Amino acid sequence: GAAGGYHPLDGGTLPDYLAKLENCASILGGNPSEWHVDEVGDGNLNLVFIVRGASGSLVAKQALPYVRLVGESWPLPLKRAFFEHEALITQIDCVPDLVPAVHHYDDVMALTVMEHLTPHIILRKGLIAGNLYPKLAEQISEFMAQTLFKTSDLYLSAKEKKQRNAVFCDNDALCKITEDLVFTDPYRVAELNRWTSPQLDDTAARFRNDAELKVAVQSLKEAFMGRAEALIHGDLHSGSIMVTETETKVIDPEFAFYGPRGFDVGAVIGNLFLAYFSQPGHAGNGQDRVAYGEWILTQIGEIWERFQSRFLQLWESQGQGDAYVAGLFEELDSAAAFAAYRRTYLQDLFHDSLGFAGAKMIRRILGLAHVEDLESIEDPDRRAACETKALALGRILIVDRKTYENMASVISYARQLQ
């Protein structure tokens, strides 16, 4: 680590680094030699430190030049820290209460110092524990409606939208991870794939030879690659959401780029369905987890309904962008036609979201990166039973997405599978 150049920090060097930043030092308080550093990164990619001082705490997140989950053999650009910070400050503009505050950003060190969310826990862990989050549906749908509306051509000028899109086009390395791991590898023989074996061997082989499914997934992949609708978070699973009973905060937007809105909505919904199908695997000690599964299904319905109505409301009240120019629909019949069109637009977004939800579910069972909801079910037969149902829903969400008129029908189908 030459002075001034990038070098990974650790518990020894981070306090010296932070001591030089006036605002960070004052949040921590007291003597830097007494600041306590824990490395808590449980994610797949980066270093995350919690630093505690005499008067407060903060989080420092630093990118590594490789994929942490795999090791130095899989290089990954440090520039993802730049995209994460860019996305985070855009989200702060849209929904300041639903993301951590930023204290400091260092481009060379690929490092962001941010608010320490406490006592928040990762939503995925809360769903495994069986906790209820009464504000989750309202707050996560607000996050999605605001960010997916206010970064789009419905709200921004054409020039600004194109300039913002151009900034994020360079995040191609992280996009490629999604293109490969979500949309491609689970449907072919790939070295990094794994699944509960031998229980799911036949299912995995069937998915690799399912022509209808593969065509449908590739159409979703092309939508992911080509449709620059809005700045999407790009990794909005339940491990990127931190919660308390009253607060919801979204973290980890390093995969952000201009893509299809349904990818974010689908990530939330798909991961909630994974949590739902994992519930029987967490039953025990007199708890059957049936009521909790029903609570998850209710949240899925509520998230879609709230997202849809909030998004439409934002469009109606703030649709000042260069798409659908204001004033063009003033006559009564034009206004009615435009209102009907907005409903169709949301229905298309619904179908996209279902398709992406399905793709997100399947990749977590047949691909490289799995989820704790299912991995924590120790008995492989029991886990495979949960995974088989989740795979069945995932497949239907992809191939039949356009036949569903509302989330209630999707939810009844999921309940039938369970």
* 251 part of the interface to ligand ADP, by CB under 6 A: yes
Considering only 10, 16, 36, 40, the residue that binds ligand ADP (CB under 6 A) is 40
Number of residues that bind Mg ion (CB under 5 A): 8
Residues 46-75 that bind ligand ADP (CB under 6 A): 46, 48, 59, 61
**E strands of 209-315, at which residues?**
230-232, 241-243, 248-250, 257-259
| Number of chain positions touching ligand ADP (CB under 6 A) | 21
Q: Is 256 in the site for ligand ADP (CB under 6 A)?
A: no
Q: Which of ligand ADP, Mg ion, none has residue 63 at its interface (CB below 5 to 8 Å by kind)?
A: Mg ion
By CB under 6 A, name the one of 153, 229, 252, 373 that touches ligand ADP. Answer: 252
Burial zone of 178 (CB within 10 Å; 0-12 exposed, 13-18 middle, 19+ buried): buried
Chosen from ligand ADP, Mg ion, none, partner binding at 80 (C-beta under 5 to 8 Å by type): Mg ion
Q: Which does 228 bind (CB under 5 to 8 A by kind): ligand ADP, Mg ion, none?
A: none
SS3 283: coil
What is the maximum span of the chain, computed from C-alpha positions, in angstroms? Answer: 70
Among Mg ion, ligand ADP, none, the one that 41 touches (CB under a kind-dependent 5 to 8 A) is ligand ADP
Q: Would you state the structure tokens that stand for residue 382, as one six-digit string?
A: 């029991």
Q: Residue 392 burial by CB count (10 A; 0-12/13-18/19+): exposed, middle or buried?
A: middle
Amino acid letter, 22? E
Span of 27-35, 43-51, 193-201, 325-333 interacting with ligand ADP by CB under 6 A: 43-51
Nearer to Mg ion, 80 or 401 (CB): 80
Interacting residue with Mg ion among 86, 142, 153, 254 (CB under 5 A) = 254
Q: Which of 43, 262, 280, 293 binds ligand ADP (CB under 6 A)?
A: 43
Cis peptide bond N-terminal to 119, omega within 30: yes
Q: Which helix (H) or strand (E) holds 202?
A: helix 201-208
Query: How much is the CA Rg of the chain, to the nearest whole Å?
Result: 22
Residue 81 near which of Mg ion, ligand ADP, none (CB within 5-8 Å, type-dependent):
Mg ion
> In angstroms, what CA-CA distances link 71 with 150, 370, 375?
37, 17, 21
**Does 84 contact Mg ion by CB under 5 A?**
yes
Contact flag: residue 100 with ligand ADP (CB under 6 A) = yes
- Other beta carbons within 10 angstroms of residue 176's beta carbon come to 12
d(CA 253, CA 156): 21
- Would you say 386 and 286 are in contact if contact means Cβ atoms under 8 Å apart? no
Identity (one letter) of the amino acid at 162?
K
Contact of 106 with 4, CB cutoff 8 Å: no
Residue nearest to ligand ADP (CB): 43
Among 42, 107, 288, 316, binds ligand ADP (CB under 6 A): 42
Which of 100/259 has CB closer to ligand ADP? 100
Determine, following the binding rule CB under 5 A, whether residue 43 of this chain makes contact with Mg ion.
Answer: yes
Residues near Mg ion (CB under 5 A): 43, 45, 63, 80-81, 84, 252, 254
Residues near ligand ADP, by CB under 6 A = 40-46, 48, 59, 61, 100, 114-117, 122, 239-240, 251-252, 254
